[in-house]
């Protein structure tokens, strides 16, 4: 083999994903944009980034009933946020972008209803036809109904391949991947396996993901992953005491409507899920408009999940004790205002050298392991 042919073969091999097809990195930052349950603190989004999204984005969104949870939540969001001190219209959207609203075209496509209806590829043809006629659109979103729950590996790979082909052909458009809604089958169910396949692809290939399932797996306190407790799309789950409960209704009943949450008719689910989907949608739009949220992450968001990691502080280091078959691939520390004070993608011996930090007191941590487990919590560092 000639040298240039050999180099070409190496390049082609390096640009082949685990799913067996060439991929294109989509995000400008060189990192994936992942919108999940940690992206529902809407007050953390700077107002200028909300306005930037309204000025820059033209969104086309294809969905059926489950996907309508986003727009149903968005319909009532502006009124709710007006009660929080925002100017009326701040979170408004419309099909044409009138009156300084976000231009979001709801179900504008012809020939497909969602990612699995009438089949698993018509949505891509419908998207291609629509973009050919509407060059002003720069964001494309499609959601699943229930089809992700019984899809084969080949069918999920078909979805990923079609999305990637559209990205290649329409390079000025941001394509938003989605996971499928919860169906009560838990961690080992086909749905979660398929959702994880989508997550891994997006994270590994710098794609944009709206993690529909993860957003509806946590209440706003973020202390329990209800997917692991066999939660379904209605938010029903089985408690550790083997009791059937509904996490969204429980949370709504323990909080004040109009203050902590707002009423909306989220299809197949509860109002709180429509709230969370709307919050996360605006987080997505702000990111697509150029917001880098790493330095403005909120303390409540940092505490999004319980920690199984054992943490202790020696005189010179923070030590994380996790399973012996795991290693920490990313570690971040935040102060009480939510500012990032330490970040690394490689942590030797699961230890953070305190001498690298210029702050003390209570710090919040978020670590991610090679097995994609995430741990969050807080640690106290003594004064210098």
Do residues 94 and 183 both lie within one domain? Answer: yes
For the chain, give percent helix, strand, coil, nearest 5: 35, 20, 40
Q: Which of 293, 322, 343 is at the close of a domain?
A: 293
- Quote the radius of gyration of the chain (alpha carbons, Å): 21
Question: Which helix (H) or strand (E) element contains residue 341?
Answer: strand 340-344
112 lies in some domain: yes
Q: For the packed helices 153-169 and 190-204, what is the interaxial angle rounded to 10 degrees? A: 30
**Per-residue pLDDT at 255 exceeds 80:** yes
348-381 pLDDT per residue, tens: 788 888 877 877 777 888 888 888 788 888 787 7
What pLDDT, on a 0 to 100 scale, did the predictor assign at position 86? 93
Question: pLDDT band at residue 246, thresholds of 50, 70 and 90?
Answer: very high
Shared domain for 366 and 289, answered yes or no, is no
Within 8 A by CB and 6+ apart from 37, the residues are: 211, 214, 215, 217, 218, 222, 276, 280, 304
Q: What's residue 24's pLDDT?
A: 62
**Which domain-ending residue is among 263, 293, 323?**
293
- 119 lies in some domain: yes
Give a yes or no: residue 321 inside a domain.
Answer: yes
pLDDT at 322: 78
Query: Which tokens hold the place of 321?
Result: 């004790």
pLDDT tens digit sequence for 5-45: 433 333 333 333 444 455 665 665 568 999 999 999 998 89
Q: What are phi and psi of 290, to 5 degrees?
A: 115, 0
For position 116, which CATH number holds? 3.40.50
CATH number for the domain harbouring residue 308 = 2.60.40.730
- Ramachandran sector of residue 176 (left: φ over 0; alpha: ψ -120 to 50; beta: rest): beta
Report which DSSP code applies to 256: -
- Do 131 and 259 have their domain in common? yes
Tell me how far apart the alpha carbons of residues 101 and 89 are, in angstroms, rounded to a whole number.
7
**Which tokens sit at 8?**
């070409």
What number of CA atoms fall less than 13 Å from residue 317's CA on the CB side?
A: 10
| pLDDT tens for each residue of 100-111 | 999 999 999 999
pLDDT for 193 equals 97
**By the 8 A CB rule, do 53 and 61 touch?**
no
Q: Are residues 245 and 314 in the same domain?
A: no
> What's the pLDDT band for 305 if we cut at 50, 70, 90?
very low
Instruction: Verify that 305 and 286 share a domain, yes or no.
Output: no
pLDDT for res 287: 97
When pLDDT is cut at 50, 70 and 90, the band that residue 295 belongs to is very low
Q: Which of 254, 272, 293 is the last residue of a domain?
A: 293
Specify whether 270 is located in the same domain as 310: no
Judge whether residue 240 has pLDDT over 60: yes
Amino acid 299: pLDDT: 40
In the chain, alpha helices (H): 3-14, 47-56, 68-82, 122-133, 153-169, 190-204, 212-215, 247-253, 271-288, 299-302
Nearest Cα to Cα of residue 285 among 8, 2, 61, 15: 61
Helices 122-133 and 153-169, axial angle in degrees (round to 10)? 10
Average pLDDT score over the chain: 87
| β-bridge partners, 317 | 353
Q: What is the pLDDT of residues 216-227, one digit of tens each?
A: 999 998 889 999
DSSP structure string for 124-165: HHHHHHHHHH-TT--EEEE--SSGGGT--HHHHHHHHHHHHH
More confident residue, 325 or 166: 166
| Residue 100 resides in a domain | yes
- Domain extent for 332: 301-381
Strand partners, 363: 379
């Amino acid at each position: 083999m000639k040298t240039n042919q050999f180099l070409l073969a190496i390049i082609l091999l390096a640009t082949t994903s685990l799913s067996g097809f060439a991929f294109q990195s989509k995000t400008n930052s060189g990192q994936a944009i992942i919108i999940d349950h940690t992206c529902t603190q809407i007050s953390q989004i700077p107002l200028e980034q909300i306005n930037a999204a309204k000025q820059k984005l033209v969104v086309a969104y294809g969905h059926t009933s489950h996907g309508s949870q986003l727009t149903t939540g968005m319909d009532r969001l502006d009124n709710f946020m007006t009660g929080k001190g925002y100017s009326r219209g701040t979170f408004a959207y419309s099909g044409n972008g009138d009156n300084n609203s976000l231009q979001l075209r709801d179900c504008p496509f012809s020939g497909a209803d969602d990612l699995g209806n009438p089949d698993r590829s018509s949505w891509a043809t419908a998207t291609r036809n629509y973009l050919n006629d509407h060059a002003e659109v720069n964001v494309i979103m499609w959601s699943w109904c229930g089809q992700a729950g019984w899809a084969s590996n080949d069918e999920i790979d078909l979805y990923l391949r079609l999305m990637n082909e559209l990205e290649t052909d329409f390079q000025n458009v941001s394509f938003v991947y989605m996971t499928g809604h919860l169906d009560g089958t838990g961690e080992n169910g086909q749905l979660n396996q398929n959702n994880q396949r989508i997550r891994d692809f997006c994270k590994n290939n710098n794609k944009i993901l709206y993690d529909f399932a993860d957003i509806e797996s946590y209440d706003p306190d973020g202390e329990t992953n209800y997917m692991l407790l066999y939660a379904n799309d209605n938010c029903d789950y089985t408690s550790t005491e083997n009791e059937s409960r509904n996490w969204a209704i429980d949370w709504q009943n323990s909080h004040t409507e109009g203050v902590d949450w707002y009423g909306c008719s989220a299809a197949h689910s509860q109002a709180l899920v429509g709230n969370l989907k709307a919050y996360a949608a605006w987080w997505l739009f702000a990111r697509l408009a150029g917001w880098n949220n790493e330095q403005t992450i909120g303390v409540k968001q940092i505490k999004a999940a319980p920690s199984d990691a054992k943490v202790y502080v020696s005189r010179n280091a923070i030590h994380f004790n996790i399973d012996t078959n795991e290693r920490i691939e990313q570690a971040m520390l935040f102060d009480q205002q939510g500012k990032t004070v330490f970040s690394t993608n490689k942590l030797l011996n699961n230890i953070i050298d305190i001498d690298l930090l210029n702050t003390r007191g209570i710090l919040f941590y978020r670590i991610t392991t090679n097995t994609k487990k995430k741990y969050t919590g807080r640690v106290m560092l003594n004064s210098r």
